Chain A
């Protein structure tokens, strides 16, 4: 499979990059998500703007009581950073659970957040797709995963975004003459056809996370077919603050791979507040978590099973966040 033709720009400053993005180009970071999509003919940009030479986007730095992670920071760097491992266990574990180490070397934080949502019937070659009518996400009007479906249930499968969202991170979004700061979840549209709220010419330049209080800890748990390489089938990030007696004061729980965007579990914190892990009402938790997500048969495991796994993986994330250092790495 060959790449279609495109123009490639490699600016070295952000300003240049912003100008180049004006003409309907796509940003190129590590390319580990975008290039396969282009080979499959699912993305056919005429112009790519590579951010590789924009050095100011590659750093992990302490800034104003928080940590700023440049969009072009590689996952390898994230996965070996002490600032990250010591303060943001969930993000550290999420980074280490992405794909496989060789991919970490090229994959970036910005690219990971902005990766397209996935589906077994969509992420296929052009030749494969031509044997069937085009699905909604590919511009057609059927869905192969849900017969008669009118909505796209492609699954956002990024590992970092749920962790960042649980940690309350903000994304810096910039374009020529404009800059805004939005929460991670605000980046997402919940629409499988176009999972992001970003405007075409906007670039995510980085994410900011406030340093956590000493009593706050976090964790990321991911179910996947093979620990060696696979995308999440269900994942959960939990960020928990506890008092000296182990009672939970605050908890944020975000699910990954449950639909076109990461999903914040509303009410999970309230359910556990004032309780230790032992006192918590886990049955209520199981009922609450994942009750609103719709998961269909479009990944390697059936939707019904994945849905059943949501509270289990979420519970493991919460328990791990209450263990030392976010618990052991992904089981």
Chain B
């Protein structure tokens, strides 16, 4: 009974047909009788006091049904993080002050979009402009304009430092003194958008029973419910967030978005459904972009390449509110220390308020930026030591069983095997030497190869920390699976059905999934922090396992056999040694109901990562366990650099990865390809260009995300370190975020390999690249 039927196989996606045929309902498709169109009035200024708002004319415009401003709200603040150190700092509608261009000031609901838009133009707002600051390092100066005068200060006298993470171990001063070589470098990463295809969209309907029903494009329904209930001042039981299909999120749809609050408030005011859909321009200009990061690293190594000490400072421009800024400076520490040993380390991370847009996490949440910095410096050090980059990494990589300074074990960590195998597959050592020789040739197009690596966490303890699942057997023996998980396109519904079908030894097609409805499905961790397949997957495994136990018990009684002797296959249960004694699932269900006081067969399962750890690690000090499973990757990029134009082309990316156990290999490959393309955008072309707080390229034409012809060839090497065994808790590791980092870092290193130019700022634009090429040419001559 132990061979796997479904898990570990590339079965087609459950939602494939409905999406491919256009029948999947996204939020924009939700249509309710009497539904109104909502629009949001946004600040044109980066920093201003709101002197007055007059909505009179807008409210009187025929066709307008409701107008809301802060005066209609309870003025309850919220935050991505809400702790005593980092209290909520953001109103869902601006109260008295705006702190970034695009901040939400008022909402209008009208019979159609044109009327709503016209109404917005009739709202009169008087502003008193305040001095603004956009550069995080400038904002850190004691004399910078203060953005949150009343917030608690985490680092006096710096008034705009909104968050600080500081930790250290060992003695870095001594380590540097003992080092053969010490390097200090500073790296910059740009502000990026997420590039999800589906814009932000919400339908809110406050019905006459007093229930607020919300359909919204998100990454998890329970978090949205909690935040809406809190800011609206109503109980969780009065808010229902329902499933819709989601057209991508990549981190950009977590947390409360203010149009969700405004649509709800408008609907509560007029008792009609209100739909708000962002224009693409609003997505770029007013939704939350990803976190930019500045990283300064000082590293000391022994002559043989052993890392002796590291000092790292990370500066995050969090925008006008905390957003996820206070988290990214914690995570950046983790991504710095997890993959490689550093016996002495000092880390400081600062999250700084500016008058820029508020940020959201983005796939990798700090990892691509931190790994870009660390891995770039690795190669600079290796070059100075005359060492091969692969050897340098193998010298320092963490080994299976290593215990991290926070108490986490990396368990069966596969990074060294990933590095070895990707190097072998790509003939890295020879080609890296060839790349160095390329620098000397007169060729216009130079080829190079580079490596980048990562380790990534798999689920951590943030709201709601856990997942529960229910598996019900129907009268015909088919199965209904209830889960709070929301499929955002990554395929989690498919995977959860695979797991349920595996435990119940039945066809995947016979598992129906009902997901992501706060009213009818059990609580779930959500499609973020890379824990879904692990946390929700194990909850489903337990629920299905429990249902199977009950089913087998009913069958054993009917067949007059021992449970241990039973074998299940194709919705039939047999006695192993006399297969003619058998019973169908349908009859076993009926027997259970008939004999046991009407007990139908239902299994429930609950799972929490790090079940013995009370709470999340400290964002201030990094103390406390972070995660249970560390994935790892090594990626090699091959590039071509046109030395006349500075244009960089990625030819191929090869990935060796340890994701624990791939439940559905095709979905894992999809994740890798998607992340290679996202890494490509990060390292080569994507950047939100901002002038005085205003995004000047708010369209897919001017925001240069890679498209079909830019896709690069990919190759994969599986390093499988875990097993899936029926009846046992299993370990999958993260697969949805980490590969961006290796791609970014490997391309930067490959560019260096080919040209000798070390780019310390992303994206590597052709114009910056050309300027550097010219600079080093001048230096040589």
Q: Does A148 contact B (CB under 8 A)?
A: no
| Number of residues from B at the complex interface, CB < 8 A | 26
In the complex, the answer to whether B696 meets A226 with C-beta atoms within 8 Å is no
Contacts A121-B696, A225-B685 known; A305 to B767 CB distance under 8 Å? yes
Contacts A127-B281, A228-B708, A312-B645 known; A301 to B696 CB distance under 8 Å? no
Docked Cα-Cα span, A229 to B285, in Å, equals: 22
Q: Does A309 contact B (CB under 8 A)?
A: yes
Q: Does A1 contact B (CB under 8 A)?
A: yes
Q: Does B143 contact A (CB under 8 A)?
A: no
Q: Does A263 contact B (CB under 8 A)?
A: no
In the complex, the answer to whether B697 meets A308 with C-beta atoms within 8 Å is no
Q: Which residues does chain B contribute within 8 Å of A128, judged by CB atoms? A: 281, 285, 698
Q: Does A130 contact B (CB under 8 A)?
A: yes
Q: Which residues does chain A contribute within 8 Å of B708, judged by CB atoms? A: 228
Q: Which residues does chain B contribute within 8 Å of A130, judged by CB atoms? A: 44
Within 8 A of A (CB), among B257-305: 279, 281, 285
Q: Does A149 contact B (CB under 8 A)?
A: no
Determine which of A1, A121, A228 lies in contact with B709 in the assembled complex, contact meaning CB atoms within 8 Å: A228
What's the least CB distance linking A235 to chain B, in Å?
A: 13
Q: Which residues does chain A contribute within 8 Å of B113, judged by CB atoms? A: 2
Q: Does B706 contact A (CB under 8 A)?
A: yes
Digitize B669-713: 1 where CB-to-A-CB distance is under 8 Å, 0 elsewhere. Answer: 000000000000000010000000010111001101011111000
In the complex, the answer to whether A226 meets B281 with C-beta atoms within 8 Å is no
Most chain B C-beta atoms within 10 Å of own C-beta, residue among A227, A300, A301: A300
Determine which of A127, A223, A226 lies in contact with B707 in the assembled complex, contact meaning CB atoms within 8 Å: A226
Residue of B whose beta carbon sits closest to that of A315: B644
Report the number of A-B residue pairs with Cβ-Cβ less than 8 Å: 55
In the complex, the answer to whether B770 meets A300 with C-beta atoms within 8 Å is no
In the complex, the answer to whether A120 meets B710 with C-beta atoms within 8 Å is no
Q: Does A24 contact B (CB under 8 A)?
A: no
Determine which of A120, A124, A230, A308 lies in contact with B770 in the assembled complex, contact meaning CB atoms within 8 Å: A308
Determine which of A2, A121, A131, A309 lies in contact with B101 in the assembled complex, contact meaning CB atoms within 8 Å: A131
Residue of A whose beta carbon sits closest to that of B102: A131
Q: Does B155 contact A (CB under 8 A)?
A: no
What's the least CB distance linking B768 to chain A, in Å?
A: 9
Q: Does B114 contact A (CB under 8 A)?
A: yes
In the complex, the answer to whether A228 meets B707 with C-beta atoms within 8 Å is yes
What's the least CB distance linking B763 to chain A, in Å?
A: 11
In the complex, the answer to whether B710 meets A227 with C-beta atoms within 8 Å is yes
Q: Does A125 contact B (CB under 8 A)?
A: yes
Q: Does B766 contact A (CB under 8 A)?
A: yes
Docked Cα-Cα span, A305 to B698, in Å, equals: 22
In the complex, the answer to whether B707 meets A301 with C-beta atoms within 8 Å is no
In the complex, the answer to whether A125 meets B770 with C-beta atoms within 8 Å is no
Digitize B699-733: 1 where CB-to-A-CB distance is under 8 Å, 0 elsewhere. Answer: 00110101111100000000000000000000000
In the complex, the answer to whether B770 meets A305 with C-beta atoms within 8 Å is yes
Q: Which residues does chain B contribute within 8 Å of A301, judged by CB atoms? A: 765-767
Residue of B whose beta carbon sits closest to that of A316: B644
Q: Which residues does chain B contribute within 8 Å of A227, judged by CB atoms? A: 709-710
In the complex, the answer to whether B101 meets A1 with C-beta atoms within 8 Å is no
In the complex, the answer to whether A300 meets B704 with C-beta atoms within 8 Å is yes
Q: Does A246 contact B (CB under 8 A)?
A: no
Determine which of A1, A125, A312 lies in contact with B644 in the assembled complex, contact meaning CB atoms within 8 Å: A312
Docked Cα-Cα span, A230 to B709, in Å, equals: 11
In the complex, the answer to whether A228 meets B101 with C-beta atoms within 8 Å is no
Q: Does A323 contact B (CB under 8 A)?
A: no
Contacts A125-B281, A301-B765, A301-B767 known; A309 to B645 CB distance under 8 Å? yes
Q: Does A302 contact B (CB under 8 A)?
A: yes
What's the least CB distance linking A156 to chain B, in Å?
A: 17
In the complex, the answer to whether A225 meets B281 with C-beta atoms within 8 Å is no
Determine which of B285, B644, B702, B710 lies in contact with A228 in the assembled complex, contact meaning CB atoms within 8 Å: B710
Contacts A227-B710, A228-B707, A300-B702 known; A305 to B766 CB distance under 8 Å? yes
Digitize A125-166: 1 where CB-to-B-CB distance is under 8 Å, 0 elsewhere. Answer: 101101100000000000000000000000000000000000
Within 8 A of B (CB), among A92-109: 100
What's the least CB distance linking A318 to chain B, in Å?
A: 14
Docked Cα-Cα span, A300 to B705, in Å, equals: 13
Q: Which residues does chain A contribute within 8 Å of B698, judged by CB atoms? A: 124, 128
In the complex, the answer to whether A226 meets B702 with C-beta atoms within 8 Å is no
Q: Which residues does chain B contribute within 8 Å of A100, judged by CB atoms? A: 707
Residue of A whose beta carbon sits closest to that of B285: A128
In the complex, the answer to whether A131 meets B645 with C-beta atoms within 8 Å is no
Docked Cα-Cα span, A121 to B697, in Å, equals: 9
What's the least CB distance linking A171 to chain B, in Å?
A: 27
Within 8 A of B (CB), among A286-319: 300-302, 305, 308-309, 312
Docked Cα-Cα span, A121 to B770, in Å, equals: 26
In the complex, the answer to whether B706 meets A120 with C-beta atoms within 8 Å is no
Docked Cα-Cα span, A229 to B708, in Å, equals: 9
What's the least CB distance linking A127 to chain B, in Å?
A: 7
In the complex, the answer to whether A300 meets B697 with C-beta atoms within 8 Å is yes
Beyond known contacts A223-B645, A226-B709, A227-B709: 17 more, CB 8 A cutoff: A120-B696, A120-B697, A120-B702, A121-B696, A125-B279, A127-B281, A130-B44, A131-B44, A226-B706, A226-B707, A227-B710, A228-B708, A228-B710, A229-B701, A229-B707, A300-B697, A302-B767
- Could you pull out 8 A-B pairs where Cβ atoms are within 8 angstroms? A127-B281, A226-B685, A226-B706, A228-B706, A230-B701, A301-B767, A305-B767, A308-B770
Which B residues fall within an 8 A CB radius of A? 44, 101, 113-114, 279, 281, 285, 644-645, 685, 694, 696-698, 701-702, 704, 706-710, 765-767, 770
Which A residues fall within an 8 A CB radius of B? 1-2, 100, 120-121, 124-125, 127-128, 130-131, 223, 225-231, 300-302, 305, 308-309, 312
The 6 closest A-B pairs by CB, nearest first: A228-B707, A305-B767, A228-B709, A131-B44, A225-B704, A227-B709
